[in-house]
Amino acid sequence: MSRTQVVVVTGMSGAGKSTALHALEDLGFYCCDNLPTELAPQIVAMCERDGLHRVGLGLDARLGNFLREADAAMDALDAAGSRDLHVLFVDASDESIVRRFSETRRPHPLAAAGDVLEGIHRERERMAPLRARSTRVVDTTRFNVHELRSVVLAQFSPARGETGSMVTRFVSFGFKYGAPVDADLVLDVRFLANPFFVPEMKHRPGTDPDVAEFVLHSDEARTFVDRIEALLTFSIPLYARDGKAYLTVGIGCTGGRHRSVAVAEELAERLRPRFGDVAVQHRDVGRGDVAGSRGSDPGPIPVPSTVKGT
């Protein structure tokens, strides 16, 4: 039986607890925020019964009197012997916390009559026992949200030191229908030979082997795909290190049925062995008059909207 990893995220209001919890969620943790402390062992036990062995719990000053039960709850979580308990305490300087509350215009949970600094001092006293139980303190005074996220990913990813699992998604599309609004990178392959003008290929999609061969056989096509592969091989680890959960690469041709589809499939096939979590979506391949594979079936060819690597 695998050991359950429990990460208790706590710390000062405004220091970044929500960002840390969101990063844990991206790593596959089941996360609960601001639950009564005495329920923490029960929540973890319920997760274990359902086969969830990575749990994140958010505890903070909003819990009020529930914080008095924090030590007992930690002891209960740690006493099972089958769990790895981590207590992550996020902190920041008083000045930076005051500035953040001023920028967001949100009230501090312990501020009386709007005195944020007084609320911070009261919170430090209240959170002292949890800080003493912490296994890791992260000072976010000079961090932005991306830097804090990177710290959490590096600390709690399944393979320590890695940046977590980023999905790379290739989306083929037709420029006549507009580029994907969520694309991080957009590549234009309209300069490649177009199967639309070859009668026996016009009604087949770019997933057809003959169409793909037609699109990719030229020196220009091979050189283009080689260079894009090199660019992505270099940049994907950097995007992951920066904390992105998804990298979307849009590949467009005129109608999104032939050239963009073939190039997207080729790039995904090349990068999947190296990066694993690579998905392909052919957004516009079903538009227009694409007919059956090799022209033998008058009905529409079934092309999956998303094909994800293992």
Of 112-116, 117-121, 235-239, the one with minimum mean pLDDT is 112-116
8 Å CB contact between 90 and 15:
yes
Q: Is the pLDDT of residue 173 over 50?
A: yes
Tokens of 102: 């001023």
Report the distance separating Cα 180 and Cα 163, nearest Å: 26
Confidence of residue 203 (pLDDT cuts 50, 70, 90): very high
**Segment 56-68, tens digit of pLDDT:** 999 877 666 666 7
CB atoms within 10 A of CB 279: 17
Report the distance separating Cα 170 and Cα 307, nearest Å: 10
Q: Is the pLDDT of residue 283 over 70?
A: yes
Q: Is the pLDDT of residue 43 over 60?
A: yes
Residues in the chain: 310
Alpha helices (H) along 27-168:
40-49, 70-79, 94-104, 116-132, 145-156
Confidence of residue 2 (pLDDT cuts 50, 70, 90): confident
Report the distance separating Cα 64 and Cα 52, nearest Å: 29
Q: First and final CA of the chain: distance in angstroms?
A: 24
Alpha helices (H) along the chain:
17-26, 40-49, 70-79, 94-104, 116-132, 145-156, 209-216, 219-241, 259-275
pTM: 0.59
Residue 130, C-beta contacts closer than 8 angstroms, at least 6 positions apart: 10, 11, 59, 67, 70, 87, 89
Q: Give the per-residue pLDDT at 165.
A: 64
Backbone phi and psi for residue 60, each to the nearest 5 degrees, phi listed first: -150, -175
Q: Give the per-residue pLDDT at 66.
A: 60
Q: Is the pLDDT of residue 302 over 70?
A: no
Report the distance separating Cα 135 and Cα 17, nearest Å: 15
Q: What CATH number labels 4-156?
A: 3.40.50.300
Of 74-78, 136-140, 230-234, the one with minimum mean pLDDT is 74-78
Which residue from 152, 150, 215 is spatially nearest to 189, judged by alpha carbons? 215
Query: Looking at per-residue confidence, does 197 or 118 come out higher?
Result: 197
Ordered strands of the 83-91 beta sheet: 30-33, 54-58, 4-11, 83-91, 136-139
If you average pLDDT over residues 128-157, what whole number do you get? 86
8 Å CB contact between 16 and 104:
no
Taking the CA atoms of residue 103, residue 104, residue 108 and residue 112 in that order, the dihedral angle to the nearest 10 degrees is: 60
Do the bridges between strand 83-91 and strand 54-58 make them parallel or antiparallel, or are there none, so unpaired? Answer: unpaired
The most confident of the ranges 59-73, 78-92, 130-144, 233-247 is: 130-144
Which residue from 58, 103, 301 is spatially nearest to 201, judged by alpha carbons? 301
If you average pLDDT over residues 283-293, what whole number do you get? 66
Confidence of residue 37 (pLDDT cuts 50, 70, 90): confident
Q: Is the pLDDT of residue 32 over 90?
A: yes
The most confident of the ranges 41-50, 244-253, 259-268, 295-304 is: 259-268
Q: Give the per-residue pLDDT at 227.
A: 97
% of the chain residues with pLDDT over 70? 85
Sorted by where each begins, the domain ranges of the chain are: 4-156, 167-308
Confidence of residue 142 (pLDDT cuts 50, 70, 90): confident
Do the bridges between strand 4-11 and strand 83-91 make them parallel or antiparallel, or are there none, so unpaired? Answer: parallel
If you average pLDDT over residues 11-30, what whole number do you get? 92
Q: Is the pLDDT of residue 44 over 80?
A: yes
Q: Give the per-residue pLDDT at 161.
A: 44
8 Å CB contact between 223 and 230:
no
Which residue from 107, 115, 81, 89 is spatially nearest to 17, judged by alpha carbons? 89
Cα–Cα distances (Å) from 55 to 41, 46, 136, 152, in that order, read 11, 11, 17, 14
